[in-house]
Amino acid sequence: MKRFAGILAIVLLAGTLLSAIPTSAAPSLYGDLGRTFFFKPTAKFKPSNDVKADNHVWFHFTNTDTRDHKFIGVITNLGPSDDTSDWEIVQYCFSDACYPPLVEGRTNRELKPGEKEDMSAQFAPHDKKSRGKFGMLGTARVDVWATDNKDLRDKMYIGEVFIPFTRASMIINNKTMKLEKCLDWDPANKDRTKRYPLTVTDETLTVPPVLLGGSTFLPFRSMGEKLLGAKVDWDAKNKVAMYTIGDDKAYFKMMLPINKKEATLILKCGDGTTLTDKVALKVAPTIYQGSTVVPLRGVVELFGGYVDWTQAEKKATIILPPPEKEE
């Protein structure tokens, strides 16, 4: 079974997220983290039938009631706007079975109080290349409820953006960043870059990556524009750095106040639903030599990416989407 490492990092880092455990719902989606949504990048069109594991995102729900229950789950495509044809929910899976969208799935047994059930969703851009544009955002909602009481229910939202496979390498105190992107894709290519070359460029950063207090920081603007494909904004009055992916119809926004160990994440879904989560950061964004810099690992992981650190070279490597991980 394959899982995305970046998503698992978000799911498992319970200590870094604000908790809001539902008290009246029998299922608690995303476990005890209290998150209303998660966001991730994907870099493939709809996979062929023999590549079922690719593009799954993983989460879980917990029976928080005092009685045993069986549960029903369903996933719904929310667009953006009223046009859901650009994104497809390939399938969602739990209890050793997979289902197409809008089809109700059921647990194959009763869950005891406190017992968890893994779920996954495979949510990808349409397989027509003319429709799968980089930067395109898609949203969905997952609902779970008890079979014997529909009032015992919970829901969670998913936001995904279609990007080229991206790998960026940078060395501390060096302004040159090696940026590699795969700008074409084969849905059946599990090796990701084997059949298509990576476009390699050397980008010059305004400020080099720096180590501050043992953490790697990257210029705020370079992080957003060169790596994440995000729109960058700066609220000078409140000293808040902002990244936005999407448009008025549907978007994901990250707000990073200077010198505060927190991030505000906002997801606007295609049906107009807007969700806000606050997340704790281990280190705060700051001003360094007159430039705004943000903690590399914290920001990349909140965007659903993966960071590798090579101590001997003092080199950080960012991979978006994160590599798949065998369990």
The predicted-structure confidence for 107-159, as pLDDT tens digits, reads as follows: 999 999 999 999 988 776 665 554 556 777 889 999 999 999 988 999 999 99
Note whether 153 and 46 are same-domain residues: yes
The predicted-structure confidence for 242-266, as pLDDT tens digits, reads as follows: 999 988 889 999 999 999 999 999 9
CA 95/CA 93 separation, integer angstroms: 7
The predicted-structure confidence for 158-174, as pLDDT tens digits, reads as follows: 998 888 778 999 999 99
DSSP string, 179-235: EEEE----TT-TTSSSSSPPEEEEEEPSS--EEETTEEEEEHHHIIIIII--EEEEE
pLDDT band at 34 (very low <50, low <70, confident <90, very high): low
Q: Is the pLDDT of residue 16 over 50?
A: no
pLDDT in the model for residue 196: 59
324 is a domain residue: no
pLDDT band at 42 (very low <50, low <70, confident <90, very high): confident
Q: How many helices (H) and strands (E) does the chain have?
A: 3, 26
201 is a domain residue: yes
Note whether 144 and 209 are same-domain residues: no
Instruction: Read off the pTM.
Output: 0.82
pLDDT in the model for residue 287: 95
pLDDT in the model for residue 199: 83
Note whether 220 and 138 are same-domain residues: no
Average pLDDT, the chain: 80
**Considering only 32-41, 229-238, 255-264, 281-290, which range has the smallest mean pLDDT?**
32-41
Note whether 143 and 171 are same-domain residues: no
Note whether 158 and 187 are same-domain residues: no
pLDDT in the model for residue 126: 65
Domain end residue (candidates: 138, 162, 186): 162
Note whether 57 and 77 are same-domain residues: yes
Note whether 109 and 174 are same-domain residues: no
180 is a domain residue: yes
CA 316/CA 209 separation, integer angstroms: 9
68 is a domain residue: yes
Q: Is the pLDDT of residue 323 over 60?
A: yes
Domain end residue (candidates: 110, 144, 162): 162
Q: Specify the number of domains making up the chain.
A: 2
Domain end residue (candidates: 162, 190, 214): 162
Note whether 112 and 198 are same-domain residues: no
325 is a domain residue: no
Note whether 99 and 128 are same-domain residues: yes
Q: Using CA atoms of 310, 315, 318, 322 in order, give the dihedral in degrees to the nearest 10.
A: -10
Overall average pLDDT of the 180-198 stretch: 60
Overall average pLDDT of the 31-53 stretch: 61
Q: Is the pLDDT of residue 49 over 60?
A: no
CATH, residue 13? 2.60.40.10
The predicted-structure confidence for 204-225, as pLDDT tens digits, reads as follows: 998 899 999 999 999 999 888 8
Question: What percent of the chain lies above the pLDDT cut of 70?
Answer: 76
Distance of CA 236 to the CA centre of its chain: 28
Note whether 56 and 115 are same-domain residues: yes
Note whether 151 and 293 are same-domain residues: no
300 is a domain residue: yes
pLDDT in the model for residue 20: 31
Residues counted in the chain: 327
Question: What percent of the chain lies above the pLDDT cut of 90?
Answer: 47
Structural domain boundaries enclosing 110: 2-162
Q: Is the pLDDT of residue 48 over 50?
A: no
DSSP 298: H
